[in-house]
Structure 1
Amino acid sequence: MKKTIVVIVFILGLIGYSFYTNGSFMRTKEKAEVGSYAPDFMLTGVDGKEVRLSDIKKPVLVNFWASWCGPCRQEAPELIRLYDHYKGKFEILAVNITINDKEENARKFARFFGMEFPVLFDRDGSIAEKYRVTGFPTTVFIGKDKKIVYIANGLLPSKKLEEITQKMLDS
């Protein structure tokens, strides 16, 4: 009987701790892989506004980049072209891995390319870690249902970018 009470108290303690930490120990199990739900996040943008992935009610292309990354510079005009072509059908979130970059350089990059979509700062690299980013650029295509459709590591050729975007829009 005493042992049962100890076990119940222990379990209740774990449940209480879970609520206290807002379930953060459970969120660490989120995996960014094709077919799974995209890990939610909230980041601050260059404009000072906070953006939460789960608040966006359409497909989302999340692009992880750095201002010093050559392939990211090559890809930026393609992302802008794609965004303009499909205006309103999906959202692009350009996530600067600020732990490996400087905010001012990211701001200059966004201004230089005329990015009209949200440019966000991952200041501690935690979102990049959730999404298993190992290089730049990394692009994650997320359907309207918030399931990951495709993950691209590295620069995507224009045709492939278009093809995967269409797949994301159709999902």
Structure 2
Amino acid sequence: MRNTLTALLIGLSSLTLNAESHAQPRYIQGKTLQGDHVNTQGKVTYLKFWATWCRYCIEEMPHLNRIYNNRSPRLEVLSINIGLNQSEDLVKRFLDNNQYQIATLFDSDSSITRRFDVIGTPTHILLDEQGNEIYRTALMDEALQTALSTYLAKELSHD
């Protein structure tokens, strides 16, 4: 009985830690596959977690590229390749072959993916200037478009 109670308390404390860490502001600093340094601290940030083997991710990439190219300076747009069954070379080739300019981080150790509690691809997350999550969705949808429209230079049409 005592071991069961101890295990329950440990489980509850880890749930509390996860809830607290999820509520804490989150920022990303790193070097993109394109060789640029990014720091999202103090910026509204749109993150897309994806993989080259994810059909929905690939279908959304042209739209994400348009968002990236039409964003205002107030919006940071980052694509984050989750690194699972991927390589930097593979992801670079994919981006180059499709002429995507999207700033892309390769999450080789899954640290970013874990920090943002991503459990599947695609995952879209919008953060405010303080790094707090404003919106999260599995697929690009109307609510995400509405949330992003404030930070886009011009309206984007649906594909």
- Taking structure 2 as the reference length, the TM-score comes to 0.72
CA contact 2:72–2:151 (8 Å) conserved in 1: no
Deviations 1:3-23 (A, max 9, x none): xxxxxxxxxxxxxxxxxxxxx
110 and 167 in structure 1: CA distance in 2 versus 1, 3 angstrom threshold:
same
Question: Does the residue aligned with 2:21 lie in a helix, a strand or coil?
Answer: coil
**% same residue:** 26
Deviations 1:107-160 (A, max 9, x none): 12222333323211111001101111111111110122322110112x224x44
Which of structures 1 and 2 has the bigger CA Rg? 1
CA contact 1:65–1:95 (8 Å) conserved in 2: yes
**Worse-superposed segment, 86-95 or 119-128:** 86-95
Work out the CA distance in 1 between the residues paired with 2:28 and 2:69: 25
Q: Which structure shows the bigger proportion of residues in helix conformation?
A: 1
Work out the CA distance in 1 between the residues paired with 2:78 and 2:98: 15
Shift of 1:85: 2.9
CA contact 2:50–2:80 (8 Å) conserved in 1: yes
Give the ranges of 4+ consecutive aligned residues of structure 1 lying more than 6 Å apart after TM superposition. none
Shift of 1:167: 6.1
Counterpart of 1:164 (choices 125, 136, 147) is: 147
Give unmatched runs, 5+ long, in structure 1: 1-25
Question: Does the residue aligned with 2:120 lie in a helix, a strand or coil?
Answer: coil
Matched, 1:47 2:34: yes
The match for 1:128 is 113
49 and 131 in structure 1: CA distance in 2 versus 1, 3 angstrom threshold:
same
Work out the CA distance in 1 between the residues paired with 2:148 and 2:113: 21
CA contact 1:61–1:140 (8 Å) conserved in 2: yes
The match for 1:152 is 137
The match for 1:12 is none
44 and 27 in structure 1: CA distance in 2 versus 1, 3 angstrom threshold:
farther
CA contact 1:38–1:146 (8 Å) conserved in 2: yes
81 and 161 in structure 1: CA distance in 2 versus 1, 3 angstrom threshold:
farther
115 and 27 in structure 1: CA distance in 2 versus 1, 3 angstrom threshold:
farther
Work out the CA distance in 1 between the residues paired with 2:24 and 2:133: 6
The match for 2:77 is 92
- How does 1:27-38 map onto structure 2 within 5 Å? 29-31=20-22, 36-38=23-25
Work out the CA distance in 1 between the residues paired with 2:35 and 2:18: 26
**Worse-superposed segment, 70-79 or 160-169:** 160-169
The match for 2:67 is 82
